[in-house]
Amino acid sequence: MNTQVTTEFRPHVAIINGQIKTTSLKIAEHFGKRHDSVLLKIKNLDCSEEFRLHNFMESSYINEQNKEQPCYEITKDGFVFLVMGFTGHQAAQWKEAYINAFNRLENQQTKEPPKPSIDTFQVKILTIFTRGDEPSQYIVPYDSCVVSGSNLRQVITFLNEFVPVEFLPDILEAVTQRLVRHVKHVTRSASPTQKN
């Protein structure tokens, strides 16, 4: 018999603490079981302690009464072991949907290179000194560059090589506004003060 999984079967599978998992809460919800019954079934599984520790991680959640309650984060292997005994047509559809969701997420993980975190790639710290202000610092990608506004050749090279055409009007407007402010400031500073 070929069971068709309809769009109403949307299992909850996510990357939790670096592993592809689901939760005991979602299993209880989707399989129409009480959560306390699912917790008891996990505790009473006839598996090795090593398997239990690797595939059923104790966790917690905050319930509707704002109280912390126990739950489990469950791997694909743990899911399969746990739901083997769940029977019925709807249970079969949920099993299939969950296994497909686990497989899809595993395939996505193997196809996509891991996204680097801040500590796994090189960065630069850009420090900006503005007259009269405290210096400000920003973490910027290692391959970023700083262009001097006073060197027109640098600015043109930067715009040609790094800036998408659709951003140019916004950049030109910002540069124009800053230039106008700069000219006003220089003009005020350069104008002689009158003495009486």
Among 111, 136, 168, residue at a domain's last position: 111
Q: Is residue 169 part of a domain?
A: yes
Domain end residue (candidates: 80, 111, 142): 111
Q: Tell whether 175 is covered by a domain.
A: yes
| Pair 70, 149 in one domain | no
Whether residues 77 and 145 share a domain: the answer is no
Minimal CA–CA distance to 150: which of 190, 179, 128, 172?
Answer: 179
Distance, in Å, from the CA atom of 98 to the CA atom of 109, rounded to the nearest integer, reads 17
One domain, residues 186 and 124 = yes
Tell me the residue range of the domain where 133 lies.
118-190
Beta strands 68-75; 123-128: pairing state: unpaired
Instruction: Determine the pLDDT at residue 3.
Output: 42
Q: What's the angle, vertex CA 136, arms to CA 132 and CA 141, rounded to 5?
A: 145
Q: Find the mean pLDDT for residues 116-128.
A: 58
Comparing CA positions, the residue from 114, 101, 41, 110 lying closest to residue 72 is 41
Contact assessment for residue 37 and residue 88, using Cβ atoms and an 8 Å cutoff: no
* Residue 128 and residue 95 share a domain: no
Number of domains in the chain: 2
- Mean pLDDT on 164-169: 68
- Give the range among 17-21, 24-28, 132-136, 190-194 with minimum mean pLDDT: 190-194
> For the residues 131-150, what does the mean pLDDT come to?
65
Q: Is 58 among the domain residues?
A: yes
- Is residue 4 a part of any domain in this protein? no
Which of 85, 111, 137 delimits the end of a domain?
Answer: 111
> Do residues 26 and 98 both lie within one domain?
yes
Do 87 and 141 lie in a common domain?
no
Tokens representing 29?
């919800």
Residues 20-37, mean pLDDT to the nearest whole number: 92
